[in-house]
A and B are shown apart, each in its own frame.
Chain A
């Protein structure tokens, strides 16, 4: 509006009724310049009051678990330390898995060695040398009679475990079950020894029949390397979740090969995914230094576990038996234990001398085991008397 050509109309102001030069406010109303300013100011005040009342009602919307869990009793501080160390690997430990007997575990390392341990005695029961280095994935069969492993060889091989002391494990014929076009990042048997699920750097996951090596189903959808997977607890059906370098966590239907849900809130690669014990949610650990909880029925992220002081990526996550605690191993050599409901950190575990690469809670929830680039695996459990871990 060109002020110099503004024609001032003189008349009675509709607010103060004085005879003034009027500035037209609207079709019906004319205000003098003073009243025009006052009206503008009061309108602005009303708008801001409206906005603040809206924002207060928005804050009442539940967007995260901790808002609902306010009334839940907080956990006391835990005191942590390593209870037992498993030594024997010659290089970085990359992956580990518990046997269903809650006692044995299998671990794999960068130098190609795969070792089966008895965690009660720390004895090594079996050892295999793979023809490739960087064995990034290993899994124990549900029966306890075989292990699967793979890595830079782009394959997943299944080794039957022999308990005959005279038989050399390396001589035992192994079967190459899975063939991918890039490295194997994760593998897991399904409910039986007969089927195995794999994740690969080629961006796909696949379901294989162990005996024939046949591909039963493939899962396409990730836009980059898939780094981890976890099967839903058996009661909740045939689904699994995978996480990848495309920052996405995807939930798949194993029968149809379809992606049923996808979550993309992480800011970097997702290194680890693990289902909540009830199967209604899953947690993820990422290079963005956060762990997050996604609820499947609400179809969104419901919690984020982070601290400003934590700047290194989380490599591995697992829940305690009740799902109240989330154990997460980080690249800064520590394990942080989070209160899943409240979103706060309950404890830090020190002990590893290099990054923690893998972490699993035992099947009965009695203990947890972490593997690290410092060539060792460490076991921890909780004492009843003082609630020490």
Chain B
């Protein structure tokens, strides 16, 4: 790449970067306290249905080896 095209590329690239940064800076943000509260409420809401959190009874576990003899 010749130095002339390199410098024009750099300017174009810098312009693009500035444009991108302007766009990113202009998005609407919420407070971390609100965002954290939402994450917490999502966890609490779905905790009951989380098998890795609550555990699954062996009888319902699809990964368990099927035994030939079952006690009813």
Residues of chain A having any CB pair with chain B under 8 Å: 62-65, 67-69, 72, 75, 83-84, 103, 119-120, 221, 258-262, 276-278, 280-281, 295, 297-300, 302, 320-325, 340-341, 361, 364-368, 379, 381-389
The dominant DSSP class at the B interface is helix
Report the Cα distance A119→B32, complex, angstroms: 40
* Consensus secondary structure, chain A interface: loop
Q: Given the interface contacts A120-B62, A260-B27, A361-B52, does A277 sit within 8 Å of B35 by beta carbon?
A: no
Do B63 and A64 have beta carbons less than 8 Å apart? Answer: no
1/0 per residue, CB under 8 A from A, across B34-57: the answer is 111111101111110111111111
Q: B residues within 8 A CB of A381?
A: 51-52, 56, 61, 63
Min CB gap B22→A, angstroms: 13
B25: shortest Cβ distance to chain A, in Å? 10
Residues of B within 8 A of A (CB): 20, 23-24, 27, 29-40, 42-47, 49-58, 61-63
Tell me whether B39 and A384 are in contact (CB under 8 A).
Answer: no
Task: Evaluate contact between A322 and B47: CB separation under 8 angstroms.
Answer: yes
Closest B residue, CB atoms, query A119: B63
**What are 17 A-B pairs with beta-carbon distances under 8 A?**
A62-B32, A62-B36, A119-B63, A259-B24, A261-B24, A261-B27, A277-B42, A280-B35, A297-B38, A323-B39, A323-B46, A325-B53, A340-B39, A340-B43, A365-B52, A366-B52, A385-B57
User: Are A341 and B39 interface neighbours, CB within 8 A?
Assistant: yes
Other than the known A72-B40, A325-B50, what 15 A-B pairs have Cβ atoms closer than 8 Å?
A64-B32, A65-B39, A68-B37, A72-B44, A119-B63, A120-B63, A259-B24, A280-B35, A281-B39, A295-B32, A297-B30, A299-B29, A322-B46, A387-B55, A388-B55
Assess whether A295 is in contact with B51, with CB atoms less than 8 Å apart: no
* Most A-side CB within 10 Å, residue of B42, B43, B61: B43
